[in-house]
Chain A
Amino acid sequence: MTEVQPIQVIKGNTAAAVAAKLCRVKYIPAYPITPQTTIIEEIASMIAKKEMDANMVNMESEHSVFSAALGSSMTGARTFTATSGQGLFYAHEVLHAIAHFRQPIVICNVGRPSIPWNIWADQSDSLSQRDTGWLQFYGESSQEILDSIIQGYKIAEKLSLPVMVVSDAFYQSHTSENVNVPEQELVDSYLPQRKISENTIQVESPKSFGGLVPPEIYDRFNKLHWEAMNIAEEETIQAGKEFSKIFGREYGAVEAVNINQNTKTILVALSTITTTIRGVLAKYPEVGLLKIRLFRPFPVISITEIMKSVSPECRMITIDRNYMGEKEGCVHQEMKRALYGKNFPIYDVYAGVGGKDVPPETIERIINFDFGQNVDPVWIDI
Chain B
Amino acid sequence: MQDLLTRFQPLEIRGHARGGQGMVTAFEILAKSICRSGNYFVQSFPFFGVERTGAPVVGFIRISKTPILNRSNIYKPHLVVVFDEGLISQVNVFEGLNPEGSILINTNRSAENFSTNAKNIFTLHATGISLKYGLGSKALPIVNAAMMGAVTKVIGGSLENLIQDIEKYVPSKPKENGFSAKESYHVVKWLESTKEIIPSVRKTTGNGNSTVPLVPSWNKPMTANKTGSWRVFRPVYEEKNAPCTMNCPAGTDVRKFIKQVSERDFESAWQTIQEHNPFPSICGRVCPHFCQQNCNRKGFDGGVNIGAIERFVGDYGIINTPDVKPIQYAEKIAVVGAGPAGLTAALRLRKQGYSVTVYEASDFAGGMMQTCIPLFRLPEEILSQEIHLIQKQGVKIVCRKKVNVEELKDQYNAILVSIGLQKSSKMNITNEEFCTDGLQFLRDVKYKHNLSEYKHKKIAVIGGGNTAIDVARTLLRLGAVPVIYYRRTEKEMPAIREEIEEAKEEGIAMEFLTAPVAVEKEKSSFVVTQTMTNVSGEIEKEKLKSLKMIRMTQGKKDESGRFSSYPLAGTEYSVYPDRIITAIGQKPDAYVFGREIDRNEILNNQGLLSTNPVILCCGDLAGGGTITEAIGSGNKAATRTHKLLRSENNVPVSTNNGKQNDWVKPEKINFNYYSFAKRNENPKQHLYNYLNDFREIAGKLLQPEIVDESNRCLHCGDCFDCGNCYNYCPDAAISFNGKKTLKINYDYCKGCGICVIECPCGYISFKKEEGERDGEVETGLKPVCTVIRN
Query: Cβ of B69 < 8 Å from any Cβ of A?
Result: yes
Query: Cβ of B517 < 8 Å from any Cβ of A?
Result: no
Contact check, A176 vs B72: say whether CB atoms are below 8 A apart.
Answer: no
Q: How far is the CB of B86 from chain A (nearest CB, A)?
A: 25
Q: A176-B28, A362-B205 are in contact. Are A275 and B71 (CB under 8 A)?
A: yes
Complex CA–CA separation, A169 to B76 (angstroms): 23
Kindly list chain A residues whose C-beta atoms are within 8 Å of the C-beta of B715.
Answer: none
Q: Is the interface of B mostly helix, strand, loop or mixed?
A: loop
Q: How far is the CB of A35 from chain B (nearest CB, A)?
A: 8
Kindly list chain B residues whose C-beta atoms are within 8 Å of the C-beta of A119.
Answer: 48, 50, 788
Of B31, B69, B206, which one neighbours A278 at CB under 8 angstroms? B69
Query: Cβ of A364 < 8 Å from any Cβ of B?
Result: no
Stretch at the interface among A204-212, A234-242, A311-319, A351-359: A351-359
Kindly list chain B residues whose C-beta atoms are within 8 Å of the C-beta of A381.
Answer: 204-206
Nearest residue in B to A4 (C-beta to C-beta)? B39
Kindly list chain B residues whose C-beta atoms are within 8 Å of the C-beta of A358.
Answer: 72
Contact check, A360 vs B28: say whether CB atoms are below 8 A apart.
Answer: no
Contact check, B47 vs A170: say whether CB atoms are below 8 A apart.
Answer: yes
Query: Cβ of B139 < 8 Å from any Cβ of A?
Result: no
Q: How far is the CB of B28 from chain A (nearest CB, A)?
A: 5
Q: A115-B216, A357-B205, A382-B206 are in contact. Are A170 and B72 (CB under 8 A)?
A: no
Contact check, A117 vs B72: say whether CB atoms are below 8 A apart.
Answer: no
Query: Cβ of B66 < 8 Å from any Cβ of A?
Result: yes
Give the interface residue-count category, chain B. 20 to 34
Q: What 1/0 mask marks residues of chain A from 318 to 362 whose CB sits below 8 Å from any chain B CB?
A: 000000000000000000000000000000000000001111111
Kindly list chain A residues whose C-beta atoms are within 8 Å of the C-beta of B67.
Answer: 1-2
Q: A170-B48, A176-B31, A178-B41 are in contact. Are A359 and B789 (CB under 8 A)?
A: no
Complex CA–CA separation, A282 to B35 (angstroms): 25
Query: Cβ of A175 < 8 Å from any Cβ of B?
Result: yes
Q: A9-B32, A359-B205 are in contact. Are A176 and B42 (CB under 8 A)?
A: yes
Q: What 1/0 mask marks residues of chain B from 20 to 64 whose CB sits below 8 Å from any chain A CB?
A: 000000011001100100011111111110100000000000000
Q: What 1/0 mask marks residues of chain B from 774 to 790 whose CB sits below 8 Å from any chain A CB?
A: 00000000000000110
Of B43, B68, B205, B216, which one neighbours A356 at CB under 8 angstroms? B205
Q: What 1/0 mask marks residues of chain A from 107 to 135 whose CB sits below 8 Å from any chain B CB?
A: 00000000111010000000000000000
Query: Cβ of A272 < 8 Å from any Cβ of B?
Result: yes
Contact check, B73 vs A357: say whether CB atoms are below 8 A apart.
Answer: yes
Contact check, A171 vs B788: say whether CB atoms are below 8 A apart.
Answer: no
Q: How far is the CB of B279 from chain A (nearest CB, A)?
A: 56
Of B31, B206, B789, which one neighbours A86 at CB under 8 angstroms? B789
Contact check, A4 vs B46: say whether CB atoms are below 8 A apart.
Answer: no
Query: Cβ of A158 < 8 Å from any Cβ of B?
Result: no
Contact check, A2 vs B70: say whether CB atoms are below 8 A apart.
Answer: no
Contact check, B45 vs A170: say whether CB atoms are below 8 A apart.
Answer: yes
Query: Cβ of B75 < 8 Å from any Cβ of A?
Result: yes
Q: How far is the CB of B614 from chain A (nearest CB, A)?
A: 67
Complex CA–CA separation, A172 to B45 (angstroms): 9
Q: How far is the CB of A364 from chain B (nearest CB, A)?
A: 12
Contact check, A272 vs B71: say whether CB atoms are below 8 A apart.
Answer: yes
Complex CA–CA separation, A376 to B759 (angstroms): 57
Contact check, A9 vs B28: say whether CB atoms are below 8 A apart.
Answer: yes
Q: How far is the CB of A350 from chain B (nearest CB, A)?
A: 12
Complex CA–CA separation, A34 to B40 (angstroms): 30
Kindly list chain A residues whose C-beta atoms are within 8 Å of the C-beta of B47.
Answer: 170
Complex CA–CA separation, A11 to B42 (angstroms): 11
Of B32, B35, B70, which one neighbours A360 at CB under 8 angstroms? B70
Nearest residue in A to B66 (C-beta to C-beta)? A2
Kindly list chain A residues whose C-beta atoms are within 8 Å of the C-beta of B42.
Answer: 9, 176-178
Of A1, A273, A359, which one neighbours B73 at CB under 8 angstroms? A359
Complex CA–CA separation, A119 to B789 (angstroms): 9
Kindly list chain A residues whose C-beta atoms are within 8 Å of the C-beta of B44.
Answer: 9, 175-177
Contact check, B72 vs A357: say whether CB atoms are below 8 A apart.
Answer: yes
Complex CA–CA separation, A236 to B788 (angstroms): 36
Q: How far is the CB of A283 from chain B (nearest CB, A)?
A: 11
Q: Is the interface of A mostly helix, strand, loop or mixed?
A: loop
Kindly list chain A residues whose C-beta atoms are within 8 Å of the C-beta of B206.
Answer: 356, 381-382
Nearest residue in A to B46 (C-beta to C-beta)? A174
Q: How far is the CB of B483 from chain A (nearest CB, A)?
A: 57
Kindly list chain B residues whose C-beta atoms are within 8 Å of the C-beta of A115.
Answer: 216
Q: How far is the CB of B788 from chain A (nearest CB, A)?
A: 5
- Centre residue among B44, B68, B70 by max chain A CB count within 10 A: B70
Q: How far is the CB of A280 from chain B (nearest CB, A)?
A: 8
Nearest residue in A to B206 (C-beta to C-beta)? A381
Complex CA–CA separation, A7 to B66 (angstroms): 15
Q: What 1/0 mask marks residues of chain B from 722 to 757 whose CB sits below 8 Å from any chain A CB?
A: 000000000000000000000000000000000000
Query: Cβ of A64 < 8 Å from any Cβ of B?
Result: no
Q: How far is the CB of A174 from chain B (nearest CB, A)?
A: 6
Q: A7-B35, A86-B789 are in contact. Are A359 and B41 (CB under 8 A)?
A: no
Q: A34-B788, A117-B216, A170-B45 are in contact. Are A175 and B71 (CB under 8 A)?
A: yes
> Using a CB-CB cutoff of 8 Å, which residues 270-308 of chain A contact chain B?
272-273, 275-276, 278-279
Query: Cβ of A47 < 8 Å from any Cβ of B?
Result: no
Query: Cβ of A256 < 8 Å from any Cβ of B?
Result: no
Q: How far is the CB of B70 from chain A (nearest CB, A)?
A: 5
Kindly list chain B residues whose C-beta atoms are within 8 Å of the C-beta of A4.
Answer: 39-41
Kindly list chain A residues whose C-beta atoms are within 8 Å of the C-beta of B66.
Answer: 2
Complex CA–CA separation, A229 to B433 (angstroms): 106
> Using a CB-CB cutoff of 8 Å, which residues 248-276 of chain A contact chain B?
272-273, 275-276
Nearest residue in A to B36 (C-beta to C-beta)? A9
Nearest residue in B to A363 (C-beta to C-beta)? B72
Q: How far is the CB of A252 from chain B (nearest CB, A)?
A: 19
Nearest residue in A to B38 (C-beta to C-beta)? A4
Kindly list chain B residues whose C-beta atoms are within 8 Å of the C-beta of A33.
Answer: 789
Of A9, A32, A279, A356, which one neighbours B70 at CB under 8 angstroms? A279
Nearest residue in A to B208 (C-beta to C-beta)? A382
Kindly list chain B residues whose C-beta atoms are within 8 Å of the C-beta of A1.
Answer: 67
Q: How far is the CB of A112 from chain B (nearest CB, A)?
A: 10
Nearest residue in A to B10 (C-beta to C-beta)? A279
Kindly list chain A residues whose C-beta atoms are within 8 Å of the C-beta of B28.
Answer: 9, 11, 176
Complex CA–CA separation, A117 to B218 (angstroms): 13
Complex CA–CA separation, A358 to B204 (angstroms): 11
Contact check, B43 vs A177: say whether CB atoms are below 8 A apart.
Answer: yes
Kindly list chain A residues whose C-beta atoms are within 8 Å of the C-beta of B72.
Answer: 171, 276, 357-360, 362
Q: What 1/0 mask marks residues of chain A from 4 to 32 whose CB sits below 8 Å from any chain B CB?
A: 10011101000000000000000000001
Complex CA–CA separation, A32 to B786 (angstroms): 12
Nearest residue in A to B788 (C-beta to C-beta)? A34
Q: How far is the CB of B660 from chain A (nearest CB, A)?
A: 39
Nearest residue in B to A173 (C-beta to C-beta)? B45
Contact check, A176 vs B70: say whether CB atoms are below 8 A apart.
Answer: no
Of A9, A11, A278, which one neighbours B35 at CB under 8 angstroms? A9
Kindly list chain B residues whose C-beta atoms are within 8 Å of the C-beta of A362.
Answer: 72, 205
Nearest residue in B to A8 (C-beta to C-beta)? B32
Kindly list chain A residues whose C-beta atoms are within 8 Å of the C-beta of B69.
Answer: 275-276, 278-279
Q: How far is the CB of B763 from chain A (nearest CB, A)?
A: 30
Q: A170-B48, A360-B70 are in contact. Are A175 and B789 (CB under 8 A)?
A: no
Complex CA–CA separation, A172 to B44 (angstroms): 10
Contact check, A176 vs B45: say whether CB atoms are below 8 A apart.
Answer: yes
> Using a CB-CB cutoff of 8 Å, which residues 248-283 of chain B contact chain A?
none
Complex CA–CA separation, A381 to B203 (angstroms): 12
Return the 7 tightest CB-CB contacts between A and B, nearest first.
A279-B69, A359-B72, A116-B216, A175-B45, A381-B206, A272-B71, A176-B44
Q: Apart from A2-B67, A175-B45, A177-B68, what 17 extra A-B contacts exist at CB < 8 Å?
A: A33-B789, A34-B788, A34-B789, A119-B788, A170-B45, A171-B72, A175-B43, A176-B32, A176-B42, A177-B43, A177-B44, A275-B68, A278-B69, A279-B70, A356-B205, A356-B206, A357-B72
12 A-B pairs with CB atoms under 8 Å apart are A2-B67, A7-B35, A9-B31, A33-B789, A117-B216, A174-B45, A177-B42, A177-B44, A275-B68, A357-B72, A359-B72, A361-B205
Q: List chain B positions with a Cβ less than 8 A from chain A.
A: 27-28, 31-32, 35, 39-48, 50, 66-73, 75, 204-206, 216, 788-789
